[in-house]
Amino acid sequence: MTKQSLAGILATASFAVLGATGCATKNYVKQQTAPIIQKTGDLENQTAENNRQIHNVDDNAQSGIKQAQSSADTANQNAQQASTSANQANDAANDAAHRADSLDDVVKGLDNYKQLGDVSVNFGFDKSMLTSDDKAQLDNFAAQLSSANSYILEITGGTDSAGPAEYNYDLSNRRADAVVQYLVSKYNIPAHRFYLIGIGKDQYVAKNDTREGRAKNRRVEVQLLTNMQAQNATPTQGSTQPAPATNSTPATGTSNPTDNVNE
């Protein structure tokens, strides 16, 4: 064999060895990097999913904030409307309700009126707010007003004998006003139908020397009176306002309460 032939064989063998070595190295690298590539892909997918969840949470939070703000705004508007209605009822009651020492002073032809119903609500010591039981009694009483014609509502009441007279006069007025305001606001009864009679004038219905008697005196009474003559004269014309006496002058109210808490 010549030297040239031997050199060719050796060169061919060398290339074969180098080729085999290169293939083995590529396979090894591929085997080692494949898991890393897989983990990298999984991590990217997880990161994308986390970003989506964070975005969803943010959207939900923003939506919740908007809903909460909307609910708060609605509640505020309802509260303002309720306050406005209460103030309107209060103003109507104070402006239009007649106040006098007796019904004869403000109602003309009182003998023509007949009592059709009545209700009495009692108050706690030094209290002028209606309880749920008081409101239930007034609701039962008001049920008959829709069918009444030519009627007026006589409101009387007061306090017990404990405490200064000035304070008790104011307290009895606040109790009567609470009844009027409730009926005006809930049943849309015209305030001019109310006649507040003798409020704060020490008109007791029981003795004040016992706890039970004082509790009975802490009250407001409502009487439903209808003008029978007007009903007989105009039975189909519905309710009419009672005619006030020409010489009547409604009372101007009472003084402000003192700092004492008495009744």
Average pLDDT over residues 201-208: 85
* Adjacent-strand bridge partners of 157: 220
Q: Report the mean per-residue pLDDT for the chain.
A: 76
User: Which tokens go with 243?
Assistant: 């005619």
Average pLDDT over residues 131-160: 93
138 lies in some domain: yes
Q: CA-to-CA distance for 167 and 263, rounded, in angstroms?
A: 8
Domain check: are 108 and 154 in the same one? yes
The domain tally of the chain equals 2
What's the confidence (pLDDT) of residue 245? Answer: 42
- Beta strands 194-197 and 151-157, pairing class: parallel
11 lies in some domain: yes
Domain check: are 92 and 164 in the same one? no
Average pLDDT over residues 140-154: 92
Domain check: are 79 and 124 in the same one? no
What's the confidence (pLDDT) of residue 248? Answer: 40
Domain check: are 145 and 84 in the same one? no
How far is CA 25 from each of CA 13, 21, 29, 36, rounded to the nearest angstrom? 19, 6, 6, 17
Lowest mean pLDDT among 25-39, 161-175, 190-204, 221-235: 25-39
Reported as a pLDDT band with limits 50, 70 and 90, residue 109 is: confident
Residue 216 sits in which domain range?
A: 98-233
Short-list 65, 128, 116, 96, CA closest to 227: 116
Domain check: are 47 and 33 in the same one? yes
What's the confidence (pLDDT) of residue 102? Answer: 80
238 lies in some domain: no
Domain check: are 60 and 180 in the same one? no
Residue 22 CB-density burial (10 A; 0-12 exposed, 13-18 middle, 19+ buried): exposed
Higher pLDDT, 2 or 62: 62
Contact 112, 249 (CB under 8 A): no
Amino acid at 133: D
Q: CA-to-CA distance for 178 and 249, rounded, in angstroms?
A: 23
Amino acid at 156: T
Domain check: are 76 and 105 in the same one? no
Please write down the HEC assignment for all residues of the chain: CCHHHHHHHHHHHHHHHHHHHHHHHHHHHHHHHHHHHHHHHHHHHHHHHHHHHHHHHHHHHHHHHHHHHHHHHHHHHHHHHHHHHHHHHHHHHHHHCEEECCHHHCCCCHHHEEEEEEEEEECCCCCCCCCHHHHHHHHHHHCCHHHCCCEEEEEEECCCCCCCHHHHHHHHHHHHHHHHHHHHHHHCCCHHHEEEECCCCCCCCCCCCCHHHHHHHCEEEEEEEEEHHHHHHCCCCCCCCCCCCCCCCCCCCCCCCCCCCCC
* Rg, the chain, Cα only: 45
Average pLDDT over residues 232-252: 46
Contact 191, 95 (CB under 8 A): yes
User: Which tokens go with 39?
Assistant: 């983990």
Domain boundary among 59, 79, 96: 96
Domain check: are 78 and 171 in the same one? no
